[in-house]
Structure 1
Amino acid sequence: MTRFGYTLMTEQSGPKQLVDYAQKAENVGFDFEVSSDHYSPWLSAQGHASYAWTMLGAVAQVTSRVELYTYVTCPIIRYHPAVVAQKAATLQILADGRFTLGLGSGENLNEHVVGQGWPSVDKRQDMFEEAVKIIRQLQSGELITWEGEHYRVDSARLWDTPDTPLEIGVAVSGEKSIERFAPLADHMISTEPKPELIEGWDKARHVGTGLAQKSKKIGQIPICWGPDEQAAITLAHEQFRWFAGGWAVNADLPTTAGFAGATQFVRPEDVADTIACGPDLDAIVEKVKPYWEAGYTDIALVQVGDETQERFLAEAAGPLLEKLRAASS
């Protein structure tokens, strides 16, 4: 049965609000919760970018059932992989085994802030592969020294390791990334409802690891529920028009000004074609449907706009979950 999650969007809400939404999302019946991990919002109109790991530590204490994910953390520049390994292990302990570390190769928007530049895509992928391997090794709790092409780890050990082993999800976008990273991960993360991604992952995962069990395939889709359709379209355009650029563009833009310039000609109707907007829950279900048809096992919803969260969780989330579960079963 397909599972449905709620997105803690650090770019559009403050940290206290996110902790409150996380608790309410669990109470209303979501199966899991994912958090973005950004240093900057995509657009200034979003207005937030708190530290995901502090917020998730608090979320782990006010929830008891939902699984938690980073969606996704980049371990190549802003964070050293040895530090990611430590905080992921700590969060897994705080969450009593409910945490999965979602990893990706990052965006210029967040990584350039530490002044180390933004590498070419080939170099980023090389760095990412090495980083995942370091994180995996450190989860053993053993003393690790690593001399790699991109990273050094000098006599490092995680002194607090979880009883439930940490699982890792990796963001992929096509055949090459699947072949390279599926053998290193437990679960697949992606944002496009393409069956070939799922099929390629299962094949690479089986061949690369010799494991017969299937991984989770975790997708994500924005929606903008609201009682007034036109107001919802306006909000989605204001806050989420960056989504129209695609990751080939989004990964390389360095600032909110860059995203504003790149999306200046995106019209509200263009956003409405991509994002289900308004009060029609059946229309939202239709937008989500391609994900479970493609083979995704876990689908996280992003409700656009901080000002809509309280009402969405109180009025729409429960009935929407019922419709999604009925349609996907």
Structure 2
Amino acid sequence: MAIIISSNGGKAVKVEKSSFEKEDYLQQYIYENPESIPLYEIKEDIRLLILAREFPTNSGPIDAIGIDKYGELYIVETKLYTNTEKRRVIAQSLDYGAALWKHSNDFNEFLKILDQHTQKAFKLRTMEKISEFFELETEDVDALIEKVRDNLNNGVFHFVVLMDKLDDRLKDLILYVNQNSQFDVYAVEFEYYKHDAYEIIIPKIFGTEVKKDIAVSSSTDTRRKWTEELLLQDAKQRLSPDEFKGFEQIYAFSKQHASEIRLGTGMYGSFSPVFGTICERSLFTLSTDKRLSFNFEWTAKVNEQLAQMFKEKLETIGFSFSENFKELRPSVMAEEWLPRTKEILDILDQLLDQKKD
């Protein structure tokens, strides 16, 4: 396809479609011009800030990571049509999502890596760049970062595949995935034209049809209202019989001893008990995604001695934590916490008894 360029109605020039010679150029173009991704077709006021390029993960570097003003995370993967791996791009993107999700174990490390990228690209830390780009005050930036943390912890990502040409098979696959999963996968085809010193990009986005028909974009509200009944039903459905038994034991202990049990609002059920006699913040969070998070960061803000004691007692039963544990909420999977369920509850008993004494 060709386009016609003219100046003031005259000197019309026919310009044939060009092609990106290298994926690296396409990556850099998106990094510098994120507004060329037509996310406004998903939601009118979305502005995408690309925070990192070549973000490292155990599955390889993610081409680009971006966020919007709602704290939604975007995993961007670029592929030229000539790339023989283009048919695996959806599986590759999901693999990156799983690898990125692991960073929820150490959110501070995730921010540290982002800081390295934003300082190199913008000479600003991540939170400073977010404040500048979205014109937010400090408290609003803090709230946005908490939403990013929640989305990372719950594995809520938007996958965006950028190509110079999309074939029908890939379009059909994207529609199928969106129709039959909780994922948002979008593909953007870039028609590229070059005339003298000018570059002309015509973006076309695919994958929005399903989400517009069956649901409101998750950027408006990804929260869910959980009850005890729904929490236990979700746990029974997602966990193995042994895992569910351990989950029930910890929940029953919490229900008996906690002054309050706070239920999460994410896509997975979770609960955070508050043992008010020793701390006004929850010591841990247990989720139906099989994660047990130790909330040292929250605890240390109100009682550093308790956070230190909790950490040391957990280390005596085989857990290990980094030196900056007071800044973290590290989590472990079921294979680590389940065999230690009784010992964990014994530790909580000891902490509660020490307060009585």
Larger strand percent: 2
Rg larger for: 2
TM-score range (shorter-chain normalised) is under 0.3
* TM-score, with length taken from structure 1: 0.25
Q: More relative contact order in 1 or in 2 (CA 8 Å, sep 6+)?
A: 1
Q: What is the TM-score when the length of structure 2 is the normalising length?
A: 0.24
